[in-house]
């Protein structure tokens, strides 16, 4: 049997893989790599719009990091594929496989049942950046006059074939592209026998979401205004604070369970 690395060795290896990417993203943020995306987010909020966040599969975690969490921006909305079941025409059985996220045709209804306003900006996360729903929603958002920010793995997306009928990747559609720095296949640690584990895209994408939120809030403070941010609902006065600000965006955002 081949020698298997110890748990401590693997933990150290994985930590290095994660921290090296976090450091690279932080360095990029300091040098202005996220500035154009932040410009779009700030402009949307200043005009009374909201930030529409979308991701499928594990990339839905990115949308949750953007929309509706403590310390996050209140003028944000999470679009989810399940909305076409909860509010649209599809049956529950459509959620039973990955076919829905690959279906480019679903985005027309998904867009129409979402509370999208004319001043909104879209931020769409997909590690692969090739599935029909993510590319389709990006194209439709642009067609209807919205800017699109993409968070994707450039290494991965450039090595796989697009699944959207346009033949395009999310990175080739978006106005701004942020690389989540995940490697091809989203695995970083190799075990004996060629077994590979250690995904990083959820961690790096969450870090990107927080960098965008922090810088957007900082810009608003710099302009002399108070950024509309959530307090934790689990601290005194949190619920009251949040509800009062959510009321300012009535019918523009949803906060589903």
pLDDT of residue 2: 60
pLDDT of residue 108: 96
Write the DSSP assignment of 175-213 as a string of letters.
Answer: SEEEE--PPGGG--EEEGGGEEE---HHHHHHHHHHHHH
| CATH number for the domain whose boundaries are 7-249 | 3.40.50.10490
Contact 132, 101 (CB under 8 A): yes
pTM above 0.85, yes or no: yes
Q: What is the mean pLDDT of the chain?
A: 96
Which pairing describes strands 51-55 and 121-125: parallel, antiparallel, or unpaired? Answer: parallel
In this predicted model, what pLDDT tens digit does every residue of 123-155 receive, in sequence order? 999 999 999 999 999 999 999 999 999 999 999
Residues 6 or more apart whose CB falls under 8 angstroms from that of 111 comprise: 137, 140, 141, 144
In this predicted model, what pLDDT tens digit does every residue of 164-180 receive, in sequence order? 999 999 999 999 999 99
Question: For the residues 51-70, what does the mean pLDDT come to?
Answer: 97
Closest C-alpha to 121, from 139, 146, 152, 144: 146
Which pairing describes strands 148-152 and 121-125: parallel, antiparallel, or unpaired? Answer: parallel
Lowest-confidence region among 41-50, 52-61, 90-99, 190-199: 90-99
Label residue 58 exposed, middle or buried (CB < 10 Å: 0-12, 13-18, 19+): middle
pLDDT of residue 231: 98
Q: How many angstroms separate the Cα of 72 from the Cα of each of 51, 75, 115, 207, 223?
A: 11, 9, 19, 13, 18
- Cα separation, 54 vs 19, in Å, equals 26
Label residue 54 exposed, middle or buried (CB < 10 Å: 0-12, 13-18, 19+): buried
Q: How is the chain split into domains, by residue range?
A: 7-249
């Amino acid at each position: 049997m081949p020698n298997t690395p110890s748990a401590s060795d693997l933990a150290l290896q994985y930590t290095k893989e994660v921290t090296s990417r976090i450091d690279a993203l932080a360095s990029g943020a300091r040098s202005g790599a996220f500035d154009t995306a932040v410009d779009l987010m700030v402009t949307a909020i200043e005009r009374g719009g909201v930030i529409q966040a979308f991701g499928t599969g594990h990339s839905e975690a990115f949308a949750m990091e953007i929309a509706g969490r403590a310390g996050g921006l209140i003028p944000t909305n999470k679009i989810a594929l399940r909305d076409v079941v909860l509010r649209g025409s599809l049956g529950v059985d459509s959620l039973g496989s990955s076919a829905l996220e690959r279906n480019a045709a679903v985005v027309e209804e998904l867009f129409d049942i979402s509370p999208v306003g004319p001043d909104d900006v879209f931020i769409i996360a997909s590690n692969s950046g090739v599935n029909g729903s993510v590319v389709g929603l990006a194209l439709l958002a642009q067609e209807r006059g919205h800017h699109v920010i993409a968070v994707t793995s450039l290494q991965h997306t450039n090595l796989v074939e697009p699944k959207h009928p346009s033949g395009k990747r999310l990175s080739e559609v978006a106005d701004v592209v942020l690389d989540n720095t995940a490697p091809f296949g989203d695995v970083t640690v190799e075990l004996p026998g060629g077994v590979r584990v250690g995904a990083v895209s959820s961690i790096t994408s969450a870090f990107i979401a927080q960098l965008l939120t922090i810088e957007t809030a900082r810009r608003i403070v710099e302009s002399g205004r108070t950024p509309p941010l959530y307090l934790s609902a689990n601290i005194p006065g949190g619920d009251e604070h949040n509800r009062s600000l959510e009321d300012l965006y009535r019918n523009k955002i949803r906060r589903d369970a």
